[in-house]
Amino acid sequence: MLNTQLRLARRPSGEAKSTDFSVTREAVPSPENGQVTVRAEYISIDPSVRTHLNAGQSYRAMVGIGDIVDVPVAGEVVASAHPGFISGDKVTGMLGTQEYAVVDGATLTKVDVSLAPLPSWLGGLGLTGLTAYFGFEEVGKPKPGETVVVTAASGAVGSVAGQIARIKGARAVGICGSDEKCRWLTEDLGFDAAVNYRSPDLYRDLKEATPNRVDVVFDNVGGPLLDTLFRRLGMRGRVIICGATSQYNEGEIYGPKNYLALATLRARMEGFIIFDYVDRYDAARREMAGWMKQGLLGFRENIVEGTVTDYPTVLHRLYQGENVGKMVMRVVPSKP
């Protein structure tokens, strides 16, 4: 049984391209004591992976030259030397861009596909959904009646964040890149308002959508859009720094010019990393599952097919602004 693997060949300049990676094929070893062999069924497609390919600072270790790109994967156990897993179990873990992974069973999460389909365990019940959950639970803490603005609101994290804001009793306003996405946010997900950031008068539209100003910004974009949102902050507003998709492929990061609004408004800006809350993942998933059963929370996956070697091409599609919900790649076996 051969394992097709995608490895980093060189540090990308700008957006990662297929030529920045190399392909290897190796025999899949049998699992040793405590290990599990997993066949990849779905690979998570996340814009933040770009930061781990750099030679600079990130919240995770850099992917080394020649290493498999460490991304979340959902798949099926095909062999086990761990007492907690048997063949046929569905699991998730940081298994990387490869068809098979032999890993320590302690690093895997067994999932219940009767609760939600397997791709949702990379999305709404995976790291992206948990990111939305803990961003509010630990940093933003929206209160009933407050106004919450979510950037990249039609994406994997943002679409869940807006729904959680509503569950918390706040008014949810989404920002995304098309009128069609705006309609999806308001008509399907229950956002109170949505703004197209491509509008010729973005600030006017934001002002109309947030007449009482903004109490919480859940930011996934950064750059000039975040700068504009500083102008709509209310007294003691909170800005959650979750990501900066507009900056990941830039050589120089755009810094905010309107940050003095934080002092004037006695506001604060705070970042967080989801891995700080790993011991609370299960409890968070149980609460989110309860919201699902009540019809308060829904997930959407944008599933595209490809081989492991198609990963850079699929990642490129994520940056084109057409994605809605959580993008995952269903792994098609590579041809010998």
Q: Indicate if 67 and 153 belong to the same structural domain.
A: no
Q: Indicate if 135 and 43 belong to the same structural domain.
A: no
Mean pLDDT along residues 158-180:
97
Q: What is the pLDDT of residue 216?
A: 98
In a domain, 295, yes or no: no
Arithmetic mean of pLDDT over the chain = 93
pTM for the full predicted model: 0.89
Residues 204-249 pLDDT 10s: 999 999 999 999 999 999 999 999 999 999 999 999 999 998 988 8
Q: Indicate if 64 and 186 belong to the same structural domain.
A: no
In a domain, 43, yes or no: yes
DSSP state letter for 255: P
Q: Indicate if 152 and 171 belong to the same structural domain.
A: yes
pLDDT at 58 > cutoff 70: no
Q: What is the pLDDT of residue 306?
A: 95
Q: Indicate if 86 and 168 belong to the same structural domain.
A: no
Q: 11: domain CATH number? A: 3.90.180.10
Q: What is the pLDDT of residue 319?
A: 79
In a domain, 336, yes or no: no
User: What is the amino acid identity at position 211?
Assistant: P
pLDDT at 334 > cutoff 90: no
In a domain, 239, yes or no: yes
In a domain, 72, yes or no: yes
User: CA 298, CA 283: separation in Å to the nearest integer?
Assistant: 18
pLDDT at 148 > cutoff 70: yes
Exposed e or buried b per residue across 103-115, where buried means at least 16 C-beta atoms within 10 angstroms of its C-beta: bebeebbebeeee
pLDDT band at 253; cut points 50, 70, 90? confident
pLDDT at 335 > cutoff 80: no
What DSSP string describes 13-25? SSS--GGGEEEEE
Choose the weakest-confidence range: 8-17, 147-156, 291-300. Answer: 8-17
- Please answer whether residues 17 and 10 qualify as being in contact, where contact means their C-beta atoms are separated by less than 8 angstroms: no
Structural domain for 78, as ranges: 2-123+300-331
Residue 296 CB-density burial (10 A; 0-12 exposed, 13-18 middle, 19+ buried): middle
Choose the weakest-confidence range: 53-57, 184-188, 201-205, 235-239. Answer: 53-57
User: CA 265, CA 217: separation in Å to the nearest integer?
Assistant: 14
Q: Indicate if 104 and 181 belong to the same structural domain.
A: no
Q: Indicate if 262 and 306 belong to the same structural domain.
A: no
Residues 6+ apart with CB under 8 A from 175: 149, 150, 151, 152, 153, 194, 195, 196, 197, 206, 221, 225
Mean pLDDT along residues 148-161:
97
Q: Count, in order, helices (H) and strands (E) of the chain.
A: 8, 15
Exposed e or buried b per residue across 21-36, where buried means at least 16 C-beta atoms within 10 angstroms of its C-beta: beeeeeebeebeeebb
Distances (CA, A) of 307 to 39, 304, 320, 331: 13, 10, 20, 5
In a domain, 307, yes or no: yes
> In the chain, what percentage of residues exceed pLDDT 70?
98
Q: Indicate if 72 and 11 belong to the same structural domain.
A: yes
In a domain, 284, yes or no: no
Q: Indicate if 200 and 327 belong to the same structural domain.
A: no
Q: Indicate if 155 and 230 belong to the same structural domain.
A: yes
CA angle 238, 157, 152 (to 5 degrees): 75
Q: 222: domain CATH number? A: 3.40.50.720
Mean pLDDT along residues 280-292:
94
In a domain, 17, yes or no: yes
- Residue 104: beta bridge partners? 35
Q: What is the pLDDT of residue 48?
A: 83
By residue count, the chain amounts to: 336
Residues 6+ apart with CB under 8 A from 115: 125, 289, 292
Q: Indicate if 39 and 152 belong to the same structural domain.
A: no
Answer positive or negative: Cα dihedral of 49, 123, 150, 148.
negative
Number of separate domains in the chain = 2
Would you tell me how many other CB atoms lie within 10 Å of the CB of residue 235?
10
Q: What is the pLDDT of residue 276?
A: 95
User: CA 95, CA 74: separation in Å to the nearest integer?
Assistant: 8
Q: Indicate if 181 and 94 belong to the same structural domain.
A: no
Strand ranges, E, within 167-300 = 171-176, 193-196, 214-219, 233-241, 268-271
